[in-house]
A = this chain, B = another copy of it.
């Protein structure tokens, strides 16, 4: 138990669904490490909608009142911010907060594209001393994935992998009603947004052993649903440096339903379907349920808070890990837009 004296005081930037349903309660729940002090959103109304859902008394900042973002940054008591804004707006908030000396945890993807991510990471690594920038990827905190990754080490060499993420985004889904989702300016629409989660899951399962990094991929992409531009479907082949091959299928516009990764090893295989982990060891099948803490956001925020208190950052929250995820999705979209040409990866030398 860490005393309240050493807790880090935090502001949440964002007034959207994910901020309200995931980040705000998770910050509040990480009370051993974090003290929730303020919420900023473009409008006071959305900032208040966050504040109403938590019990901590938080100050409200917004662009339509006198207490604006710059005022928040000038508060010396607030040491850290969680950035939960649309993909296209995140980088300037990340930069401003770091320049103001605040620690930052920004939501995935790390940036809209590889070039911007590289520029931002390079700027952070060369210009910023003191405050830390980390990137949220809640799939790295799913207990079912952590469990599977551990069990995989007992099944011999990895010899193959396959993933299916199949669903349909209804035209009137709550997440689909926001303008930045309906007319995405970021590449890939939902494929980027969801895709980085799933490849984060794959990278966690493949582990950090030499040769298990993805070396190249090729993809065909398609837009099945007219209301899901620019593409809603990708079928991808991937190959590791060691030459092991696999597939990744993702669609947000299909009649199929799937949420699964399967990793084949020389002595068995493991399949993860959300909380259900099926393990085949030398022909014997075992099915176990490993409950996740919601979406993985609560343990993610807790781990970040603990790191701040202890003055450490976790390798899986470094922006380079998020860049590795983003790279796989960007190359997949790029290969798809170029008729399926195979593309080589350049940013996979990271811890998960």
Q: B-contacting residues of A (Cβ < 8 Å)?
A: 159-160, 162, 164, 216, 218-222, 224, 233-239, 243-247, 249, 251, 253-256, 262, 264-269, 280, 339-342
Contact = CB atoms under 8 A, between A and B. Distances in A.
23 contacts: A159-B224, A159-B253, A159-B254, A160-B224, A160-B233, A160-B251, A218-B218, A218-B237, A220-B237, A220-B238, A220-B239, A222-B239, A222-B244, A222-B245, A233-B245, A235-B238, A235-B245, A235-B246, A237-B247, A239-B340, A255-B268, A255-B269, A256-B269
A249 B163 CA distance: 12
Contacts of A218: 218, 220, 237, 340, 342
A220 B249 contact: no
Contacts of A254: 159-160, 264
Contact of A216 (B233, B267, B340): B340
Instruction: Say whether chain A's binding surface is mostly helix, strand, loop, or mixed.
Output: strand
Contacts of A224: 159-160
Copies of this protein chain in the complex: 2
Contact of A162 (B160, B164, B220): B164
Contact of A265 (B255, B262, B280): B255
Contacts of A162: 164, 235, 249, 256
Contacts of A216: 220, 339-340
- Residue of A255, A262, A339 with most chain B CB atoms under a 10 A cut-off: A255
A66 to B, nearest CB: 52
B264 A256 contact: yes
A236 B247 CA distance: 8
B245 A220 contact: yes
A269 B254 CA distance: 10
Nearest to A343: B340
